[in-house]
Amino acid sequence: MKNLFLVAVFACLLTACATSPTGRSQFMLISPESAIVESRAAYLSTVSDLSKEDKLSSDKALAKRVASITGRLVSVAIEEYPRSADWEWSVAIVDDAETVNAWCMAGGRMAVYTGLFKQLKLTDAEFAQIMGHEISHALANHTAERMSRAMATTLGVVAVGVMSDRPAATMGGAAVAAKLALELPNSRTAELEADQLGMEIAVRAGYDADAAVTLWEKMGAVGGGERAPEFLSTHPAPGNRQTALAAMANDMRKLNPNGTKAKVHPIQVLTANVQ
């Protein structure tokens, strides 16, 4: 039985794969559909907790700005990736002036922190680059990829437990790994992929490609202080990131040379006044 179990484990590890929008081979043990289901539950729980703790923003002007810019990006995302048309696109605005962060779960459920705007003094184009990047993580199934990495580790732990006749002890670790999967940072490869796809989405939506470079200049300046942005803990920044983004900008501009703004797709913006 041990041998059969190990064969099944390693068969899963060897055969689970998918292809990202850039043509990269991805290791997948969790399907994108399953990741969306799990993300929905986690998102609803997170937003509910934020609401109870009075941590959602009540800034109507900011909500309008976020809805307009993000809505244009979503419009492009749906046009380029039709499978996302049925996603429950939404963004929660978290009232936390000290936190520089934003994220997007599988299925288009997002959050932005007011610290992004207060500390980085973002232009519309810079904010578009952030959200384009985050949306790209969802479009490229990076959540499912992170969950799959955690699951692979879990399977390895369970296999060791089976071999040592201590499966009960290992299953506790497996449960923890599954619960924490959504919080894992993206790989450097996934980050560079989201940079490329995110800039493309932002440019198609009508925002300046060069804003990706100025954004990371600002992020680097804030990161040099005593408290690094939360964004950098889940979005590792290789030293050549700004150079790579600058090199992509010229070609990206050709996608929308006139900077024509995309239409605003209606999305749900979650604030202190909208639950």
69-119 pLDDT, tens per residue?
Answer: 999 999 999 999 999 999 999 999 999 999 999 999 889 999 999 999 999
Where is pLDDT greater, at 61 or 186?
A: 61
Average pLDDT over residues 206-212: 96
Domain count for the chain, please give it. 1
Residue 11 lies in a domain: no
Question: Is residue 164 scored above 60 in pLDDT?
Answer: no
The reply to whether 176 falls in a domain is: no
Inside any domain, residue 195: yes
Can you give the pLDDT at residue 260?
A: 97
User: Which whole number is the average pLDDT over 57-78?
Assistant: 98
Which of the two residues, 32 and 121, has the higher pLDDT score?
121
| Long-range CB contacts for residues 240-243, cutoff 8 Å, separation at least 24 | 241/192, 241/195, 241/216, 242/213, 242/216, 242/217
Q: What is the pTM of this model?
A: 0.79
* 116 vs 24, residue with greater confidence: 116
Domain span at residue 85?
A: 32-143+183-270
Question: Which residue in 200, 191, 178 sits closest to 232, CA to CA?
Answer: 191
Check whether 31 has a pLDDT greater than 70: yes
Asked whether residue 122 is assigned to any structural domain, the reply reads yes
Please indicate, yes or no, if residue 71 is contained in any of the structural domains: yes
What pLDDT, on the 0 to 100 scale, is given for residue 79? 97
For residue 175, give the DSSP letter: H
Answer whether residue 34 shows pLDDT above 70: yes
Q: Is residue 8 part of a domain?
A: no
Residue 47 forms part of a structural domain: yes
Q: Is residue 230 part of a domain?
A: yes
What confidence category does residue 255 fall into, taking pLDDT thresholds of 50, 70 and 90?
Answer: very high
* Spatial CB neighbours of 36, under 8 Å, sequence gap ≥ 6: 87, 106, 107
Q: pLDDT value at position 234?
A: 66
Select the more confidently predicted residue: 225 or 197: 197
pLDDT score, position 240: 74
